[in-house]
Amino acid sequence: MTTRVEHVMGLPISIDIRDDGDFTRAVNHAFAWLREADERFSPFKVDSEVRRFDRGELMRHELSVDLREILEICARYETASGGAFKAKLPGRGFDPSAVVKGWAVQRAANTLRSAGAQRFCVNAGGDVITYGEPEPGRPWRVGIRNPDQTDTVCAVLGSRDGAVATSATYERGAHILDGRTGLPPTSLLSVTITAPDLTTADATATAAFAMGSEGIAWAAAEPGCEVFIVDRYRRVHRSEGLAVL
């Protein structure tokens, strides 16, 4: 059993491995990658590859394979959401954070898998990746915060071999904007998505939140995704197949 928490990418990230054996080296590699991703792809670091690209100092053919992949994911969700999801808004710098976090944390989890870990949870500020079970016959429990009350949850999900991501305004305020209008969406209070990987869950949650009420049906129809969404009227929209405990 190996556990560790570090503050990376502006949030606490925890790794909880329930397998026997020493996974210290794998955990070191996972956190080293997350720190590297933060340095390379943060829009808040003046010398990051993202900022250099945004300033026009790097042409597309000069970009790393990783940043090209991030750009492709951003473009895919911009198209799929009809422009509601947008990494570059008029008058603002290029900000792929909605993709980078889930993508980077998923790669960190892949590092643990490659090292032989089969039962673990990675929690990145409430966005979670799980593999296996913490105990035989019991899934990992992932709480969905009540958008109106900081100390309560409105549901608990059971997760095995998948990811859970939530987009909302209760932690960071109106940081998600509708790329079609440039304004904060107001139709939804929180969007939680389960998916096979955190890249998909995180980007889908952000895109659906930006889309507003039309994002409910869109997200539920995305391949491999299940939804738990609270709208502004406090109505819950939930996929039938969602594993609610």
In this predicted model, what pLDDT tens digit does every residue of 62-103 receive, in sequence order?
999 999 999 999 999 999 999 999 999 999 999 999 999 999
In a domain, 82, yes or no: yes
Looking at the chain, the whole-number percentage of residues with pLDDT higher than 90 is: 93
Decide if 139 is inside a domain.
yes
Nearby residues of 104 by Cβ (< 8 Å), 6 or more positions away: 9, 33, 34, 37, 38, 41
Is the CB of residue 189 less than 8 Å from the CB of residue 231? yes
Q: Quick one: three-class SS letters along 27-45?
A: HHHHHHHHHHHHHHHCCCC
Structure tokens belonging to residue 138: 């019991």
Residue 203 has what pLDDT?
A: 98
Report the pLDDT value the prediction gives residue 82, as an integer from 0 to 100.
Answer: 98
Distance between CA 169 and CA 206 in Å, rounded? Answer: 11
Residue 245 falls within a domain, yes or no?
Answer: no
> Which pLDDT belongs to residue 28?
98
Please report the pLDDT score of residue 172 as a whole number.
Answer: 63
Domain at 113, CATH number: 3.10.520.10
Report the number of distinct structural domains present in the chain: 1
pLDDT value of residue 170: 73
Residues in the chain with pLDDT < 50? Answer: none
| Residue 155 belongs to domain spanning | 2-238
Q: Which residues of 80-92 are buried (b: 16+ CB within 10 A; e: fewer)?
A: bbeebbbbeeeee
In a domain, 243, yes or no: no
* Separation CA 183–CA 73 (nearest Å): 22
- Confidence at residue 188, expressed as pLDDT on a 0 to 100 scale: 97
- Residue 168 belongs to some domain of the structure: yes
pLDDT at 112: 98
Instruction: Please check whether residue 189 lies inside any domain of the structure.
Output: yes
Q: Which pLDDT score is estimated for 174?
A: 67
Calpha distance 37→97 (Å, rounded)? 11
CA distance 41 to 36: 8
The pLDDT of residue 169: 84
Q: How many angstroms separate the CA atoms of 93 and 214, rounded? A: 27
Tens-place pLDDT, residues 37-57: 999 999 999 999 999 999 999
DSSP string covering the chain: -EEEEEEETTEEEEEEE-SSS--HHHHHHHHHHHHHHHHHH-TTSTTSHHHHHHTTSS-GGGS-HHHHHHHHHHHHHHHHTTTSS-SS-TTS----HHHHHHHHHHHHHHHHHHTT--SEEEEETTEEEEES-SBTTBPEEEEEE-TT-TT-EEEEEEESSEEEEEEESTTTSS----TTTSS---SEEEEEEEESSHHHHHHHHHHHHHHTTHHHHHHHHSTT-EEEEEETT--EEE-TT--B-
As a whole number of angstroms, the distance between CA 149 and CA 239 comes to: 23
Say whether pTM exceeds 0.85. yes
- At residue 104, the pLDDT reads 98
Indicate whether 29 belongs to any domain.
Answer: yes
Residue 244 maps to a domain: no
